[in-house]
Amino acid sequence: MRMGCLSRLGCLLLIVVIAVIAWLTSDRWWWRLTGHATRTVSTGPVWEPLTVQGAERTRQLLTRLSQPSGPVFGNLSGGDVASYVYQSLAKQLPPSADSIQAAVIGDRLYIRASVRLQDLGGTSSLGPLAGMLGEREQMQFGGTFQIVRPQLAEFQVKDIKVRDLSLPQAMIPRVLRQTERGSRPEGLSEDGLPIVVPKYLGDVRIANGRVTLYKTVPQ
């Protein structure tokens, strides 16, 4: 009886060892059986659609920040913040923009959309890149937030990509001017897009996949 028990334990241990070895080496043989990779690890950014619910979550956080006994800061996803600021950015983005999404990548918030390049002054505004592009392409803006003064912030565009082509930084202000409507607020950077914010919003920081809003604390 004892030998039988030990024998069964030995077999079980052997099976466990074989299973562990098989899992660790599965990338070498699983695809031969199934035609698919064994494990898919997603390391890319998480793109979120702009939603009414996301804008509301941002408004609720701003309301809490406005209260004297409320928190000093709060965290939001890139999609939530972009949903809220889109009310200001919509006036600066191409009017044909659709399928709009947002993601936090590194220390920047990215907004991408499908746009008609005619809204940017046509392909001619993109210089030598024009010949490689169609009438409608995916456009991606990446940047950070800066508080210019109370009630005015800017989304400072650090990079623009059309399809998979990155525009030179020197071209960014020119491209932004093509979509601009109305006069630019004083103090705005050449590569900045104006955003109206509550007067108590003191700072906006982007890191670790989140956007953190800070309120101005009285000295």
What is the C-alpha separation between 191 and 207, in angstroms, rounded? 21
Strand order in the sheet with 210-215: 73-76, 210-215, 201-207
Nearest to 206 by CA among 101, 107, 111, 110: 107
Rounded to two decimals, the pTM is 0.74
DSSP collapsed to 3 states, 137-161 = EEEEEEEEEEEEECCEEEEEEEEEE
**Helix ranges restricted to H, the chain:** 2-24, 26-34, 52-66, 78-89, 172-179
Per-residue pLDDT tens listing for the chain (219 residues): 444 544 555 565 556 556 555 555 555 555 455 555 445 445 567 899 999 999 999 999 999 999 999 999 999 999 999 999 887 777 777 777 888 899 999 999 999 999 887 776 655 555 556 666 777 888 899 999 999 999 999 999 999 998 888 888 888 998 888 777 777 889 999 999 999 999 999 999 999 889 999 999 766
Three-state SS for 25? coil
Residues present in the chain in total: 219
Distances (CA, A) of 169 to 132, 161, 190, 193: 19, 11, 11, 15
Distance CA(139)–CA(116), nearest Å, equals: 9
